[in-house]
Structure 1
Amino acid sequence: MVYQQQHQEHEVLIAEPNRSASWQANKWALVAMCMLSGTIASGFAFVGAWPILPFAGLEMAALGTALYYVCWKLRYRHVVTFDEQEVRIQKGHYHPRQSWSFERRNTRIIISTKPHPWDAPGISLSHRGETVCLGEFLSKDDAQQLIELLRSRLRVQSHSANTSKDF
C-alpha cells in the first residue's frame, strides 16, 4: 500500500505491506478461538480427559504468538520525505530503525524490471554511489504507483531489465 501526505514544508510518501486485518481484529479472532478451544477442552476434561487442558493452552499461546509476529512484520514501512533541498528515507516497524538523507538535486531513481511478469519492479534511490532499495514488499500495482509518485519528484537514472534470477 502506498500513500502520500502533504505537510506545509514537506511531502511524505509511505509504503507499507498490505494487511488483511488489524491487530485489534486479530485479537478478537484470538479471543474467539480461545473460547472455542476452551469449551472443547473443558468438555474433554469433564469426561476425564483432563491432559488435553495444557495442550489446548499451549496451542492458543502459539496461535497468539504467531498472530502477533505477523502483525508486527506487517507494520514495517518505508517513509520517503521530500523537502526543497533534501530527500530523507526511513525504514522501520513502529519508528525508524534505518535512515538516509540525500541531497534532492543529486538523487535519482533506479528501476529494474523482473523477468516474471507478476513480479513487481525493483525500486531504488541512488545518490553519489549509495543506493537504497524501496518497497521490496509491494505488489506490482503498488510498486507502479510508487514509481509514478517518485517520477514526479525525482529523475530516473536507469530503467533496465534485471537479468538475475531469485530462487
Structure 2
Amino acid sequence: MNRDLLSERREWLLRRNCSLSPQQMGAAYGVLCLLSFAVATGFVLVGMWQVLLFTALEMTAVAAAFLYYARHATDYEHIVLGNGKLLVEQVSAGKTSVTQLELYFLRLQMPEHPSDLIHLESKGVAVDIGYFATDPRRRALAQELRAEVQGGLFNN
C-alpha cells in the first residue's frame, strides 16, 4: 500500500500542568500583598514598624517565586513527525528553539531512569525531549516514537 508521505504526519504536544495563568498569578499576588500590608499597617499603627520591613521582604520573595512561575507557565514541547523528518520545537521562558532531525539517521535513546529524558540524535544534531512529561508518559512517548520511526511510514 503506497501512502502519500506529505499527508502522513504525527504530532505530540507536551506542556506544563499549570493551574493558574500568569494573569491569575498576578491577581493572586495583588490580593496577597493587599492583605499582608493591611496586617503590617495595623502593627505599624501600634508602634511595631519592624513588621512592615519583614512584610516587604516576604512579598519580595513571593514576587520572585511568582515571576519564575509565570515565566515558565507557558513552556512546551511540540514534536512533529512527518515527511522523513522529526521536528522538535521547545519553548522555555519565551525562548523558542527548533531542532530538525532526519529520520533515516535518527537514534533514539530510551530513558533508563525515572529522571532521564528521551535523547534523540541525527547527523550530529542532538536534542533531549520529555521535560514536561511524567516518567510513564515519557516512556510511552519514546515507545510511540520508536514504533513510528521503525514502522517506516515516515521515511522517504
TM-score, normalised to structure 1's length?
A: 0.69
The structure that has the greater radius of gyration is 2
> Counting helix residues as a fraction of each chain, which structure ranks higher?
2
What secondary structure is seen at the aligned counterpart in 1 of 2:121?
strand
Higher strand share: 1
> Cα distance 1:121–1:50, how it changes in 2: closer, same or farther (>3 A)?
closer
- Which of 109, 112, 126 is equivalent to 2:121? 126
Name the SS of the counterpart of 2:110 in structure 1.
Answer: strand
Shift in CA distance, 50/122, structure 1 to aligned 2, threshold 3 Å: closer
1:22/1:152 CA distance change after superposition, 3 Å? farther
Q: Contact between 2:79 and 2:89, CA under 8 Å: does it hold in 1?
A: yes
2:80 is aligned with 1:85:
no
**Unaligned ranges ≥5, structure 1:** 1-7, 157-167
TM-score for both structures, normalised by structure 2: 0.73
Q: Residue 110 of structure 1 aligns to which amino acid in structure 2?
A: Q
Count of aligned positions: 144
The unaligned stretches of length 5 or more in structure 2 are: 1-6, 152-156
Kindly, what percent of the aligned residue pairs are identical?
A: 24
SS at match of 1:112: coil
Q: Which residue does the alignment assign to 2:57?
A: 58
Higher relative contact order (CA 8 A, sep 6+): 2
The separation in 1 between residues aligned to 2:19 and 2:137, in whole angstroms, is 15
State the alpha-carbon separation in 1 of the partners of residues 74 and 137 from structure 2: 16
Hey, what's the Cα distance between the residues in 1 that align with 2:79 and 2:137? 15
